[in-house]
Structure 1
Amino acid sequence: MMVGAMVAGANKEVLSLLEKIGNSLGILFQIKDDELGLFADETKLGKPIGSDIKEGKKTLFWYYLMREVSNEEKAKLDGIFGNGLVSEDDIESVRMLLKEKGVMKKVNRKIESLADESRKLISQLDVSEDNKKVLLDLVEYNCTRSY
């Protein structure tokens, strides 16, 4: 977005807003990607479900979960995250904990907060309504995509 805007001669205010929108959309995309990596249909997603768990990736889901679990649960999770040989049952137990501990609700609130922030920034852009709609559609896509 930034390069296109620069080539088109956008002013500093527009460039600054586009940078903020891009950052917000990038974070939104990544959080949704992490969610899909835990809960999506593997055939639609095109990669194994739970791969972030096996690889020990420190996602927002991991961060929120570690703040909510007991020491005993944390010890068990420490043996699961980053263990490339974890079972489907282990992955399912992590998914259940994410729901039971309210992590999904927190992540969904974060997604909606980022989407609202993006929408607000887009509304401030001095561009055509058609161009704003393209960006707003991108926000909605990132919130609702299933693969």
Structure 2
Amino acid sequence: MASEMSLEEFKTALEERRQRVYRYLRAGDYARYFRPSHVCDAVFSYLDHGGKGLRPGILFFACGAVGGKEETALPAAAAVEVYHTWTLVHDDVIDRDEVRRGGATVHTEFGRRGQTELGLDRGDAEHYGTSIAILAGDVQQGWTVSLLADLARNGVEPGLVLALINRLSLDVQTTLLEGQTLDIRYSKLPLDAVDEEQILEMLWKKTGALYEFAAQAGAAIGLRTAEFSHPAIHAVGQFASKCGAAFQLQDDILGLVGDEDRLGKPVGSDIREGKRTVVFHAAFKRADAKTRERLAQIVGNEHATMAEIEEAKRIIVDLGGIEHTQALARSYVDSAFEFLDVLPDSRYKDLLAAWGRYLIARTF
């Protein structure tokens, strides 16, 4: 078992790597490819607002844990961050969210620009904003492939570069989009039509698959092999997979009771959107018939008032939805630690363990 690193020490290490990735993305001459200028603005929008850097972080840590050099893996770390960003841009369109990372979502910002710069009416401006967001996400997907290809310039074998591109573009992308599709579908079904097992599978596909890839990619680069069945690559992938599921469980908790200013996005929006989360499902199972009926009137109602949203939140909290989900998230992380046993003791192994603990300790 890795020794326990302090939260502050871990956060400092993670922030150093996050900044390294963002400097790399800005220092490269990439912007000249993103035309016209408003598409370039959209592509860099969320990157300029900054993220947590969790996916690049685990890629770096996994690479170091098997004896690799972080600098070699830098293009891959940048790639997983850009890849994650396009999923956010498109997800915000689907969920009709207006705020991300403390600023306007891409489709919202460019909807406003459609009105102020082009004189469009509200309907056409919204369509314009949505169109720009879709295109920005498409550009980011292409950028991801280019960043992975840049690994070859860092001395990574072409066969491994191609394997990583193929794995992300086919295996991960189809899994992630399946999870997103299920998320949309489940929100349209009756509240009692989806069970916890289905929700957990959906959230892993939406979130865990990319975390798993990031860890595997880092280890594969460090070991200089495309054999993803290698014990160390498999182990860090499983570790990240389980922790990734815990991350989403914590995200759902924060989406209900977190600090909106710290989160940088609206709290309670999952209720209005009818999202099927473990938090909600655990409470709904424990509710009596009258309470279920009341939840059915609020959850998924896009016209629900803030008072009704607060009422639903109180019901979910009072019925133990938060406690159940917290316990489940902890169990995922606890069970993930055994996969680190195959790795030799090192600071990187400690960073991996701290990364897992941080996912369920974070408040934003």
* Same-fold call, TM cutoff 0.5: yes
TM-score (norm 1): 0.90
Q: 1:2 aligns with which of 216, 219, 236?
A: 216
1:43 lines up with 2:257 in the alignment: no
1:142 lines up with 2:356 in the alignment: no
The CA distance in 2 between the partners of 1:43 and 1:95, in whole Å, is 18
Q: 2:336 aligns with which of 118, 121, 130?
A: 118
The CA distance in 1 between the partners of 2:330 and 2:336, in whole Å, is 10
SS in 1 for 2:253: helix
Unaligned regions of 5+ residues in structure 1, if any? none
What corresponds to 1:54 in structure 2? 272
Q: What does the per-residue CA deviation read over 1:63-113, in whole Å, with 9 as the maximum and x for residues that have no partner?
A: 212211112211211121111221222222222122221222211211211
SS in 2 for 1:28: helix
Q: CA deviation at 1:2?
A: 0.6
**Superposition map of 1:1-147 within 5 A:** 1-9=215-223, 12-122=230-340, 124-147=341-364
Equivalent AA in structure 1 for residue 217 of structure 2: V
Equivalent AA in structure 1 for residue 256 of structure 2: L
Q: CA deviation at 1:121?
A: 2.1
Q: CA deviation at 1:119?
A: 2.2
Larger radius of gyration: 2
SS in 1 for 2:308: helix
Tell me, yes or no, if the aligned pair for 2:343 and 2:349 is still in contact at 8 Å: no
Q: CA deviation at 1:26?
A: 0.9
Q: What does the per-residue CA deviation read over 1:38-66, in whole Å, with 9 as the maximum and x for residues that have no partner?
A: 11111111111101111111111122122
Q: CA deviation at 1:128?
A: 3.6
* CA-based RMSD: 1.6
Tell me, yes or no, if the aligned pair for 2:250 and 2:359 is still in contact at 8 Å: yes
The CA distance in 1 between the partners of 2:338 and 2:312, in whole Å, is 35
The CA distance in 1 between the partners of 2:294 and 2:246, in whole Å, is 29
The CA distance in 2 between the partners of 1:65 and 1:121, in whole Å, is 32
Equivalent AA in structure 1 for residue 241 of structure 2: N
How many residues are aligned here? 146
The CA distance in 2 between the partners of 1:4 and 1:125, in whole Å, is 16
SS in 2 for 1:8: helix
The CA distance in 2 between the partners of 1:98 and 1:125, in whole Å, is 40
SS in 1 for 2:283: helix
Tell me, yes or no, if the aligned pair for 2:247 and 2:329 is still in contact at 8 Å: no
- Relative to structure 1, the CA distance from residue 131 to residue 125 in structure 2 (aligned partners, 3 Å threshold; closer, same or farther) is farther
Equivalent AA in structure 2 for residue 31 of structure 1: L
Tell me, yes or no, if the aligned pair for 2:271 and 2:299 is still in contact at 8 Å: yes
Query: Relative CO higher for 1 or 2, CA cutoff 8 Å, sep ≥ 6?
Result: 1
The CA distance in 2 between the partners of 1:113 and 1:142, in whole Å, is 13
